[in-house]
Structures are given as C-alpha cells and as structure tokens.
Amino acid sequence: MSDGLRIRLDRTLCDGFGICAKHAPEYFSLDDWGYASLIGDGTVAEKDRDAVMRALLDCPVHAIIAVGTSRPSDDGTAHPDARPEATEPEPRNDSDAVAEFVR
Ligand code: SF4
C-alpha cells in the first residue's frame, strides 16, 4: 500500500507560469501576478494524484516538490524513499599513508 503523495511548493522558484493551477486548481491558487500558492498542507488525495503529478512534472522551474514520508510501510519495512544513514568514513591514520608511500 502507498503512503500517499505529499508536495510542497518553493515559492522562491515559482516564475508565475500558472501551469500548476491549470492542472490541479484544488491544490494551487495564483495571486494577481500569477505566482502560485499551495492550498492545504500538501497532502494529495489519491484521486488527485495524476493531476498533481502532472502539475509537478510540467512546472518549468521545478518549484513543486514531492515530499517523501518517513512512515514505514504497512508491512513494517522501510519506506522505499528512505535512504540508509550515511556512515562516517573510518578515521584515517596519516602514518599509514606515509608507511604506504615509503614501501
Ligand atoms: S507551474 Fe511552477 S512556475 Fe508556474 S505557477 Fe505553478 S509553481 Fe509557479
């Protein structure tokens, strides 16, 4: 089962093309200059997913961003968007490098 789509809008990127509001008017409103605002909290109903994804993909400046959720899947496994924790590299002993160089 899917966790559902969540989006956010980076208004600093929006260039006022208005495409998003054309595709998904329930999720995007335009101000007097054509700049978009997100309606609601970014949670996308499954029935609106295609329209919102179309808005996301057609935005010329990529101002609409799909946000992954951190909830685990229903089966208890990690969400597919989850990334493993970055691991710290092993501390390097500079004398090892010198010893390698000298050999
Ligand atoms: S499609 Fe993109 S650039 Fe155009 S109004 Fe919507 S968010 Fe702004």
73-82 confidence digits (pLDDT tens): 555 454 555 4
The residue-averaged pLDDT of 76-89 equals 51
pLDDT-derived band at 64 (thresholds 50, 70, 90) equals very high
**Any residues with Cβ below 6 Å from ligand 1, and which?**
9, 14-20, 28, 36, 59-61, 63-64
For residue 80, report the distance from its CA to the centre of ligand 1, in Å: 28
Q: Output the residue whose Cα is nearest ligand 1's atom 6.
A: 20
More confident residue, 74 or 17: 17
Burial zone of 20 (CB within 10 Å; 0-12 exposed, 13-18 middle, 19+ buried): buried
Buried b (16+ CB within 10 A) or exposed e, 85-95: eeeeeeeeeee
For ligand 1, mutation pick of 61, 62, 65 (most atoms within 8 Å of CB): 61
Q: Which DSSP helix (H) or strand (E) runs through 55?
A: helix 49-58
| CATH match for 5-67 among 2.40.50.140, 3.40.640.10, 3.30.70.20, 2.40.70.10 | 3.30.70.20
Q: Please tell me the predicted confidence (pLDDT) of residue 19.
A: 96
Candidates 63, 57, 4, 53; CA nearest to 30 is 63
Domain positions in the chain? 5-67
Q: What Cα–Cα distance (Å) separates residue 9 from each residue in 61, 101, 102?
A: 11, 52, 56
